[in-house]
Structure 1
């Protein structure tokens, strides 16, 4: 399709799955949301993450991500913006640990977690780096490059979304452990600390 052989598409899909199975900010955040706030809000965050990946993929096709990747200043702005945002989410989870668990989130809650998932991913420079460092290796130079890039981006978004949804589904099963108020407070705060540690790990891994 668009000059891409089937083996290239299959190889890229496998690469995308392997990369997305590697622990990172998105995986940690989605697990925390599903375990503490429920699957519905977790799936809303997954949708936000998917849109963020799609936007970065479109930017790659238009050449914008290359500019970001080549600009140390822009990279650092995105990097630290993502770290600070993850730390804020960790603090927000810690602060809300004493609150009651919502049984039925409303539309406003769904929209809020959708936006959080979107922002979390847009502030993740690793997404842009993936599109710049990995995706071009599967593009056929003499083919329709823009169309190929968009197609590969779609494959990556689909693979990531399936994996993220699975994480939310599995983490949501742990929600039954949070029915006890005292246990809920302990687990929610522990998950908030874990998210803060992931933010610091993210800062370390993306320092180059």
Structure 2
């Protein structure tokens, strides 16, 4: 007979994959990074997202979500900070000449990507709903949190790798400065659109 925690793995992994692989700020940035820097140089970015999102979910599982109960205004602050950061990234994509940008630009670091999850609204929605729906009642929050952390990390790595690979494929088509400029502009518009959705 399968134990209840084992049964919960499949719906948890399925739900988290749906939340992770659908378009959002992380996936737009991974696509852009994959197209610009390739898969290997984007791996720290992927790893930062994986660690940041999984840790976020773990902390909510063990009770840190109570912070939002006592300080509900924090959600609004994080929302606006996230929107501002997305607009800043959009500006960086189109605010400089492509040739110059390629010469000096660097992919997002592990810590940059991990810290971005603090102000990433989609990451908070994903973490809150995961902790709420899949934390088994009557079990140790720490033990369940570690299990959920592991599943979320694995799923996020797969999702992030898919979007990065998608970007790498697109990058092979960006053979001149004009095409790269158009691609960067399209990604910037997606980031701005996401920022608007976040605050509306």
Q: Which moved more, 1:52-61 or 1:167-176?
A: 52-61
Give the drift of 1:49.
Answer: 0.9
DSSP-derived class of the 2:53 partner: helix
Q: How many residues align?
A: 198
Contact 1:66 1:132 in 2 (8 A): no
DSSP-derived class of the 2:95 partner: helix
RMSD (Å), alpha carbons: 2.5
Give the drift of 1:51.
Answer: 1.8
Distance (Å, rounded) in 2 between the aligned partners of 1:69 and 1:162:
33
Distance (Å, rounded) in 2 between the aligned partners of 1:96 and 1:41:
21
DSSP-derived class of the 1:23 partner: coil
Q: 1:197 corresponds to which residue?
A: 193
Distance (Å, rounded) in 1 between the aligned partners of 2:191 and 2:125:
22
Q: Are 1:138 and 2:134 counterparts?
A: yes
Q: Are 1:165 and 2:144 counterparts?
A: no
Give the drift of 1:97.
Answer: 4.4
Q: Are 1:21 and 2:21 counterparts?
A: yes
Distance (Å, rounded) in 2 between the aligned partners of 1:95 and 1:123:
23
Unpaired runs of 5+ residues, structure 2, are none
Distance (Å, rounded) in 2 between the aligned partners of 1:12 and 1:114:
25
**60 and 124 in structure 1: CA distance in 2 versus 1, 3 angstrom threshold:** same
Distance (Å, rounded) in 2 between the aligned partners of 1:97 and 1:35:
17
The two structures have a TM-score, normalised by structure 2, of 0.85
Q: Which moved more, 1:147-156 or 1:38-47?
A: 38-47
**43 and 69 in structure 1: CA distance in 2 versus 1, 3 angstrom threshold:** farther
Q: 2:171 corresponds to which residue?
A: 175
Distance (Å, rounded) in 2 between the aligned partners of 1:69 and 1:85:
25
Q: Are 1:185 and 2:168 counterparts?
A: no
Distance (Å, rounded) in 1 between the aligned partners of 2:59 and 2:18:
23
Superposed structure 1 runs of 4+ greater than 4 Å apart: 100-103
Give the drift of 1:190.
Answer: 2.5
Distance (Å, rounded) in 1 between the aligned partners of 2:136 and 2:55:
22
Unpaired runs of 5+ residues, structure 1, are none
